[in-house]
Amino acid sequence: MLAVINKNRVERIFEFAKDDEAAKQDAQLFRIDDKTIMAYYFRYTFHPINEKELFKDYTFIEYDSTIALLSGIGVCISYDNGETFSSPYIIKINNENDIMKNFAVRGSMCKLNNNEVLAPIYAYKKNINKNNFKYQCYIISSKDLINWKLKTFLAETDLRKINRKKSKIEYVEPSLFNYKNNVIAFIRTHINNEYAFTSISYSKDEGKTFSNPISTNIKGYPLNPLILSNGKLLLTYGYRLKLYGIRAILLDNTDDIDDIIEKINYKALNEEIIIDSSMKSTDCGYPWCVEDNGIISCVYYGYKDKNKIRKIYMKRFTFN
């Protein structure tokens, strides 16, 4: 569902992608230009449990004698600034190496100067020799929003020694941001299934190659980047430690990648902004922000009541 909100009042709610019979999750919006908006989400299709063996190489959720199978990304496009949206189509990536059997998107896209749109996805890849799975993150791209291709590898599950102990590092749910011709990927990162933090990977060649992920002091995920009208960079993220809610850091205008990482680490430890700390559990987060005339609107989910009913919240604020 999409809601049109004006001055804290919901003016209109409507459903998009009605023609897509799959279950839809984590819908997001990306503005292409003044008139074009792309709505995207990842899909599940359902299959009886007796077909489980057919999908042994795929990622699925099993419950109530049913298999919910990840099945690509759905897209609807508005060419009239959100008044109407097109019928849905499905992004599917075919490649000769069979890199992905399925994939999802949970982060922001970005646009390059040549009008190429980059989208971050994450997927499972089966290790045939060891018969197990590992997460992988990739970048896909399109110039017409219809035809998409695999552009580059971003990160994958890594086994390494940390403090002399063998550790598993997982990278999922990347978000992209084009900041002064540097494509920055903010990646949700887990070490040995512990609480996640945000890693950074960057590209100086328009997304053709990315650096190895660099750990930061941000104890939250996934991260939503927004450049403000004053040139500052607002990084917002869900916070699933007590006190649960939404937090952010604000960076001054800067050009240097190393300086950005240094400022992020300092701000996350010393100048973290608490947007909301009233959620009742870790079931919260996924913020998304926009700015209008200096007023920032931040939308996120969670629950604050004992009945544990999820709600969508919006908080508006400004910076002095």
Q: Is the pLDDT of residue 3 over 80?
A: yes
Please report the pLDDT score of residue 5 as a whole number. 84
Q: Is the pLDDT of residue 60 over 90?
A: no
Helices and strands per DSSP (H, E), number in the chain: 1, 24
Q: Is the pLDDT of residue 8 over 90?
A: no
Burial-class residue 146 by CB neighbours within 10 Å (0-12, 13-18, 19+): exposed
Residue-wise pLDDT for 224-252, tens only, equals: 999 999 999 999 999 999 999 999 999 99
Q: C-alpha angle with apex 279: 234 to 24, nearest 5 degrees?
A: 75
Residue-wise pLDDT for 80-109, tens only, equals: 999 999 999 998 776 545 555 678 899 999
Whole-number Å distance between alpha carbons of 225 and 213: 17
Nearest residue to 296 via CA among 238, 237, 229, 245 = 229
Average pLDDT estimate for 288-303: 94
Please report the pLDDT score of residue 100 as a whole number. 58
- Mean pLDDT estimate for the chain: 90
Using pLDDT thresholds of 50, 70 and 90, give the confidence band for residue 67: confident
Q: Is the pLDDT of residue 124 over 60?
A: yes
Please report the pLDDT score of residue 133 as a whole number. 67
Average pLDDT estimate for 165-194: 92
Half-sphere exposure of 4 (CA within 13 A, CB side): 10
